[in-house]
């Protein structure tokens, strides 16, 4: 039975490298929750990491001529530095390429295989030979490979399957018996109506074509399916099926898997089914949060390019406004569980209204007045008036209200509570007019009482803000000579001792001139976009083949051919089938140029061909050579032809 512990996880991130502020959302929320629970005195294990296997990484690395790890390592380092910039206090950063994780995935597969929950069968799908990828019928685009647009062929492949279908009734029961298991409620309806009602199909959990994965222990030709590999991180991080399962005993079942709504299906259907098959308890809760939108769509790298001048790069944002401001925006602005629109203007307005005006002003006015009237020494609290008691009561009840909100995982509500007390304190300044009291020697005790109240509210709010504003909260506590690591045991009014040193705090969140800043950001985004384009070009250049020797070149046989007949390839929009005379020989050639030349135009043309390529069948038609074309940036094609028309077919190109 686990006690006094809290296990919280983010999804593990694909090493895409195109990080944007949307990516920070899940992790910042989890960080605030992890910090909150640590301050409650719980033993917290906060897990995040990277999801590194799969076809995409394999292909990207191959295209660059490097190993998958050489491709991934710098991206993982980038992600870690982003988390460090945002003050993310994870306990472990797990990588699916970590040895202990791989071992655990293999043991999980073995256990499921031994119990009969994984069995061998046949998977049929549409195979794209050049991409070496298998697609399902629904993944195809106009009946062709969704990646390269080429023809695909129906193939059957031997695969291993997980008996997901068997677990559908138990998953429905899990939802019924544990309404807290999947939140918010709307996600339960999605899962039940879209997937569970119709029954589940067994899940194909092995690949032979994608080799960048975990090899299965019982069949080394097969590699793990990425989602089983990825989900297992929640257990491998705790040492599941290793020699040391202490962490597992302490932290499993997880208290919370926080995930974006698009991956709820994996966490709320596939994952509990696997856990049931392993004989483990399901996590206590899966929470599917909403998205940060831009222009009404999910913020993503491609969308970010489409929407003109919004700065979404987390590094730049933190550099300009500081990590607290970014954390605050993410935690406060997006209604929890729903989507929320991101714009630079909304971010700046939030920073100005809440952080610079409300919190910043309260703290700098309070510390400045104690400096001016009491030489930076906290005055004693004298006789309290009605107005003081009202503020004191609001501050005293604050922890309970914040905790209630955080128990519902609702950081926006928790922050709302704290900032409503900050507002009350600012209003209290207007009501008690300490600047007038300061002019009257006879009101000195009253002034002391007012400033004491303000100091206490600043301190209590700072303690409660620690999980959210990691830097500002510390600065505030320090200025009141409080221990920076003060926990939630210090949230009652009256703890500050008269005589304590109070240091004047300069504005912690300087006010931003929104109009000027938006103009600057617009220019910055334009600059960044230009820079962004350059690396792409560089990557293209890097992709260019390395220098070759004349002997390498000699391996390619190029000849002039004359097209003697040409027709469209049935069922293909792209392909033409040419009959080409090359000297004495006649060959069948298929080329993807139907969008640029009609069959009639082709007949009689002299073209340049590669004549020693291995023959292949494209759309069922034999191709024994490749006609060369030039392709410009717009994708337009033009045939290469010998400059003098009288040159004979069969002529060699040197």
Q: Residue numbers of the site for ligand MSP (CB under 6 A)?
A: 11-14, 22-23, 25-26, 51, 230-231, 259-260, 262-263, 291-292, 298-299
Residue 14 or 109: which CB sits closer to ligand MSP?
A: 14
Beta carbons of 8 and 47 less than 8 angstroms apart: yes
Residue 212 or 452: which CB sits closer to ligand MSP?
A: 212
Beta carbons of 266 and 231 less than 8 angstroms apart: yes
Residue 264 or 589: which CB sits closer to ligand MSP?
A: 264
Residue 336 or 428: which CB sits closer to ligand MSP?
A: 336
The per-residue b/e assignment along 607-633, b for 16 or more CB within 10 angstroms, e otherwise, is bbbebeeeeeebbebebbbbbebeeee
**Shortest CB 466 distance to ligand MSP, Å:** 24
**Shortest CB 55 distance to ligand MSP, Å:** 13
Whether the CA torsion 472, 473, 474, 476 is positive or negative: it is positive
Beta carbons of 216 and 224 less than 8 angstroms apart: yes
**Residues 263, 265, 267, CA angle at the centre, nearest 5°?**
75
**Shortest CB 427 distance to ligand MSP, Å:** 35
Please give the C-alpha separations between residue 127 and each of 63, 164, 528, 589, 632, in angstroms, as whole numbers: 20, 25, 39, 22, 29
> Quick one: three-class SS letters along 577-595?
EEEEEECCEEEEEEECCCC
Distance of alpha carbon 590 from alpha carbon 567, whole angstroms: 10
Structure tokens given for 178: 């544990």
Residue 54 or 561: which CB sits closer to ligand MSP?
A: 54
Residue 191 or 299: which CB sits closer to ligand MSP?
A: 299
**Shortest CB 22 distance to ligand MSP, Å:** 2
Residue 90 or 126: which CB sits closer to ligand MSP?
A: 90
Helix (H/G/I), strand (E/B), else coil: 43: strand
Residue 232 or 426: which CB sits closer to ligand MSP?
A: 232
Closest CA to 300 of 331, 327, 262: 262
**Shortest CB 210 distance to ligand MSP, Å:** 15
Residue 15 or 561: which CB sits closer to ligand MSP?
A: 15
**Shortest CB 488 distance to ligand MSP, Å:** 28
Beta carbons of 319 and 349 less than 8 angstroms apart: no
Other beta carbons less than 10 A from residue 525's beta carbon: 21
Residue 259 or 521: which CB sits closer to ligand MSP?
A: 259
| Edge-to-edge strands, sheet with 340-341 | 297-298, 292-294, 340-341
User: Could you tell me where the beta strands, DSSP code E, fall in 170-284?
Assistant: 182-183, 203-204, 206-207, 215-216, 219-224, 256-260
**Shortest CB 293 distance to ligand MSP, Å:** 7
**Shortest CB 582 distance to ligand MSP, Å:** 50
Beta carbons of 528 and 534 less than 8 angstroms apart: no
User: Could you tell me where the beta strands, DSSP code E, fall in 96-196?
Assistant: 118-128, 133-135, 153-162, 182-183
Structure tokens given for 169: 């009734």
Residue 206 or 623: which CB sits closer to ligand MSP?
A: 206
Residue 151 or 255: which CB sits closer to ligand MSP?
A: 255
**Shortest CB 145 distance to ligand MSP, Å:** 22
Pairing type for strands 203-204 and 219-224 reads: unpaired
**Shortest CB 231 distance to ligand MSP, Å:** 5
Distance of alpha carbon 98 from alpha carbon 108, whole angstroms: 16
**Shortest CB 396 distance to ligand MSP, Å:** 36
Nearest residue (beta carbon) to ligand MSP: 260
Residues paired with 93 in a beta bridge = 48
Beta carbons of 537 and 624 less than 8 angstroms apart: no
**Shortest CB 26 distance to ligand MSP, Å:** 4
Other beta carbons less than 10 A from residue 555's beta carbon: 8
């Amino acid at each position: 039975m686990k006690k006094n512990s809290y296990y919280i996880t983010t999804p593990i991130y694909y090493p895409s490298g195109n990080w944007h502020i949307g990516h920070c959302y899940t992790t910042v929320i989890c960080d605030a929750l992890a910090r909150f629970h640590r301050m409650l005195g719980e033993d917290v294990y906060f897990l995040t990491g990277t999801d590194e296997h799969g076809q995409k990484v394999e292909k990207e690395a191959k295209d660059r001529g490097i190993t998958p790890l050489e491709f991934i390592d710098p991206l993982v380092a980038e992600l870690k530095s982003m988390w460090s910039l945002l003050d993310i206090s994870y306990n472990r950063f797990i990588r699916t390429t970590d040895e202990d994780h791989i071992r655990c995935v293999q043991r999980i597969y073995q256990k499921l295989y031994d119990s009969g929950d994984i069995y061998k069968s046949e998977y049929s799908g549409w195979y794209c030979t050049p991409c070496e990828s298998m697609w399902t019928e629904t993944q195809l685009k106009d009946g062709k490979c969704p990646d390269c647009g080429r023809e695909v062929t129906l193939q059957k492949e031997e695969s291993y399957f997980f008996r997901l279908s068997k677990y559908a009734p138990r998953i429905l029961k899990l939802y019924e018996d544990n309404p807290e298991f999947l939140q918010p409620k709307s996600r339960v309806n999605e899962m039940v109506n879209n997937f569970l009602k119709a029954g589940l199909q067994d899940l194909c959990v092995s690949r032979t074509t994608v080799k960048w994965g975990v090899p299965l222990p019982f069949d080394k030709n097969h590699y793990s399916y990425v989602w089983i590999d990825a989900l297992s991180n929640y257990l491998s991080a705790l040492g599941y099926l290793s020699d040391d399962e202490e962490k597992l005993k302490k932290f499993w079942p997880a208290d919370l898997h926080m995930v974006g709504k698009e991956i709820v299906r994996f966490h709320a259907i596939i994952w509990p089914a696997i856990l049931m098959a392993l004989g483990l308890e399901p996590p206590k809760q899966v929470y599917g949060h909403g998205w940060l939108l831009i222009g009404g769509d999910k913020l993503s790298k491609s969308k970010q390019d489409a929407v003109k001048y919004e700065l979404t790069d987390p590094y730049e944002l933190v550099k300009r406004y500081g990590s607290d401001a970014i954390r605050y925006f993410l935690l406060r602005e997006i209604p929890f569980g729903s989507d929320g629109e991101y714009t630079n203007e909304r971010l700046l307005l939030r920073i100005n209204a809440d952080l610079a005006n409300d919190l910043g002003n309260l703290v700098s006015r309070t510390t400045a007045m104690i400096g001016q009237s009491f030489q930076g020494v906290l005055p004693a609290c004298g006789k309290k008036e009605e107005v003081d008691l009202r503020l004191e009561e609001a501050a005293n009840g604050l922890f309970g209200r914040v905790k209630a909100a955080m128990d519902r995982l609702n950081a926006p509500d928790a922050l709302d509570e704290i900032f409503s007390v900050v507002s009350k304190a600012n209003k209290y300044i207007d009501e008690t007019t300490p600047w007038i009291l300061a002019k009257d020697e006879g009101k000195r005790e009253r002034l002391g009482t007012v400033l004491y109240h303000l100091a206490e509210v600043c301190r209590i709010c700072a303690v409660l803000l620690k999980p959210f504003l990691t830097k500002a909260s510390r600065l505030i506590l320090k200025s009141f000579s409080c221990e920076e690591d003060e926990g939630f045991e210090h949230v009652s009014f009256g703890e500050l001792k008269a005589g304590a040193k109070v240091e004047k705090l300069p504005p912690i969140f300087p006010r931003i001139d929104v109009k000027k800043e938006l103009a600057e950001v617009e220019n910055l985004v334009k600059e960044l976009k230009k820079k962004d384009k350059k690396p792409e070009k560089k990557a293209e250049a890097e992709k260019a083949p390395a220098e070759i020797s004349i002997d390498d070149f000699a391996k390619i046989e190029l000849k002039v051919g004359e097209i003697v007949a040409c027709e469209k390839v049935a069922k293909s929009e792209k392909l033409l089938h040419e009959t080409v005379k090359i000297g004495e020989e006649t060959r069948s050639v298929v080329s993807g140029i139907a969008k640029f030349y009609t069959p009639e135009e082709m007949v009689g043309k002299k073209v340049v061909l590669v004549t020693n390529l291995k023959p292949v069948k494209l759309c069922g038609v034999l191709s024994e050579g490749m006609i060369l074309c030039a392709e410009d940036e717009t994708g337009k094609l033009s045939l290469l032809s010998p400059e003098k028309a009288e040159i004979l077919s069969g002529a060699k190109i040197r």
